[in-house]
Amino acid sequence: MSLRPPSASSRPPAVPIRGMALDVLGEWAKGERFAADLLDYIQRENGLSQPDAAFLRDIVLTTLRNLSLLDHWIDVITEGKHLDHRSRWGLRIGLCQVLILKVSEYAAVNETVAATGRARSLINAVLRRACRESEELLAMVPALPLETRTSHPKWLIEHWLGLFGEAKTTALCEWNQVPAPMCARVNHLHPENASASDDFIVCEQLPREDLGAGKVYMQDPSTALAPRLLAPQPGQRVLDACAAPGGKTALLAQLMENKGEIIACDVSPGRLRRLEGNLYRLHVANAQIEQHDWAEPQPPPFAAAGFDRILLDVPCSNTGVMRRRVDVRWRLTPEDITAQVETQTLLLKNCLRVLKPGGILVYSTCSIEPAENEQLVASVLETTPGYELVTTRHSFPPEDQMDGAFAAAIRRV
């Protein structure tokens, strides 16, 4: 096996991508920031080109998506040797490149070694052995436990096995291991898209020009489930209770043909600024932005007249979008789901109070957890007279080939 470098004349100036990946992952491990935010920050700060930024993203997200598997390989090669944090991250990103991303072995080994500091000799030895034994290391994967070969926490695997059974749980874990395509919704409010036939498209690369012009908005088809179930009509008064960053609000405006009134709410000023910018860019003309926390029991003045339609897209565990949000599997705990249910229940009860008689509220999540979905809605309706369940919709990622989502339409009678 040759690890000879390419000729000097063919090599562009090196960008220290592996060192940046180690910095991002080291910061991520502190548990305070999300990988996507850290990647955006380091791309801006270093003025990375699109290819370099994409490569950095591939290394970081693929490493996080395969943490348990990478650690298994490390233990096999090092015979369980104790490693400091930076050395372990160095081996993780090195093995990720060699065994999963199939990066040039010379670049993967030498540039990862150069980025790791004092443990270079160990990193070098382990990665060179991995190159020699790559076929054997890859061949062991199918026989590994599901939580190891698909890198999901064991408690989550056991939880899903109890809910969905072995076949669906296995399919879900394998689905989460495949990087999600870039999906965009075609914005029919843009004058040039008024007669477009497509609703969602898959993009090979980020459509920056169309995004900036408001012709498209990056979102998965599953996000249309709740707005379409709500089916707001032109002229109605509609509340989007948890609106930021605005993708669903803009779809509501499109369904309403920009007629009537949408009150778009969120809690934080920062999220509201982002919401305002997105709605302006997406040519939304019938939305009014308000700051309000619907966990508060007292309805705000703007809700006094009530609403014909309410979209309540609540904060949730995000278990339906783990393919896109790689952090979630490592940050989520069983206690988080319980805490989410308490907040979601409060939000639903408070929003039902401002629904007009005969009006429809759609409660939605991007979760696949029955506790946050069907069970929660049933529990609230049992203790809140005057409302009835109309219908529910849901998507289960491997079966529906899109992100997981849930929506329940509730009528005030």
Maximal CA-CA distance, the chain:
76
- Same domain? 262 vs 356: yes
Expressed in angstroms, the distance from the first to the final Cα of the chain is 73
List for the chain the helix, strand, coil content (%; round to 5). 55, 15, 30
The DSSP result for 269-304, as a single string, is HHHHHHHHHHHHHTT--SEEEEE--TTSSSPPGGGT
Query: What is the number of domains present in the chain?
Result: 3
Report the alpha-carbon angle 314-317-318, nearest 5.
90
- Same domain? 106 vs 163: no
Which CATH number is 62's domain given?
Answer: 1.10.940.10
Does residue 207 belong to any structural domain of this protein? no
What are 266-317's pLDDT values in tens digits?
999 999 999 999 999 999 999 999 999 999 999 999 999 999 999 999 999 9
- Quote the CA–CA distance of 3 and 128 in Å, as a whole number: 9
Domain boundary among 144, 170, 190: 144
Q: What are 157's two structure tokens? A: 């695997």
**Which phi and psi (to 5°) does residue 395 adopt?**
-130, 135
- Same domain? 359 vs 228: yes
Closest by Cα among 378, 371, 403 to 392: 378
Centroid of chain to Cα 139: 30
- Same domain? 140 vs 153: no
Residue 409: pLDDT over 50: yes
Domain span including residue 174: 149-178
Domain boundary among 96, 119, 144: 144
What pLDDT, on the 0 to 100 scale, is given for residue 4?
Answer: 41
What pLDDT, on the 0 to 100 scale, is given for residue 383?
Answer: 95
- Annotated binding site, which residues? 242-248, 266, 293, 313
- Same domain? 231 vs 379: yes
- Same domain? 140 vs 53: yes
Does residue 366 belong to any structural domain of this protein? yes
What are 76-104's pLDDT values in tens digits?
999 988 999 999 999 999 999 999 999 99
- Same domain? 279 vs 380: yes
- Same domain? 302 vs 393: yes
Does residue 209 belong to any structural domain of this protein? no
- Quote the CA–CA distance of 91 and 84 in Å, as a whole number: 11
- Quote the CA–CA distance of 69 and 362 in Å, as a whole number: 40
- Quote the CA–CA distance of 25 and 112 in Å, as a whole number: 14
Identity of residue 25: L
Asked if residues 129 and 77 have their Cβ atoms less than 8 Å apart, the reply is: yes
Active-site entry in 96, 131, 173, 366: 366
Which CATH number is 306's domain given?
Answer: 3.40.50.150
Mean pLDDT of 248-264: 98
Q: How confident is the model at residue 118 (pLDDT cuts 50, 70, 90)?
A: confident
Does residue 400 belong to any structural domain of this protein? yes
Does residue 195 belong to any structural domain of this protein? no
What pLDDT, on the 0 to 100 scale, is given for residue 14?
Answer: 66
Edge-to-edge strand ranges of the sheet holding 216-218:
200-203, 182-186, 216-218
Residue 228: pLDDT over 80: yes
- Quote the CA–CA distance of 295 and 270 in Å, as a whole number: 18
What pLDDT, on the 0 to 100 scale, is given for residue 27?
Answer: 96
Does residue 104 belong to any structural domain of this protein? yes
What are 65-79's pLDDT values in tens digits?
999 999 999 999 999
The DSSP result for 344-402, as a single string, is HHHHHHHHHTTEEEEEEEEEEES---GGGTHHHHHHHHHHSTTEEEEEEEEE-HHHHTS
- Same domain? 72 vs 133: yes
- Same domain? 124 vs 237: no
Residues in Cβ contact with 233 at an 8 Å cutoff, skipping those fewer than 6 apart:
256, 260, 308
Does residue 186 belong to any structural domain of this protein? no
Does residue 304 belong to any structural domain of this protein? yes
* Catalytic site includes residue 366: yes
- Same domain? 54 vs 160: no
Asked if residues 257 and 233 have their Cβ atoms less than 8 Å apart, the reply is: no
- Same domain? 126 vs 158: no
How high is the mean pLDDT of the chain? 94
- Annotated binding site for S-adenosyl-L-methionine, which residues? 242-248, 266, 293, 313
Inter-axis angle of helices 85-95 and 105-115, nearest 10: 170
What are 186-222's pLDDT values in tens digits?
999 999 998 888 899 999 988 999 999 999 999 999 9
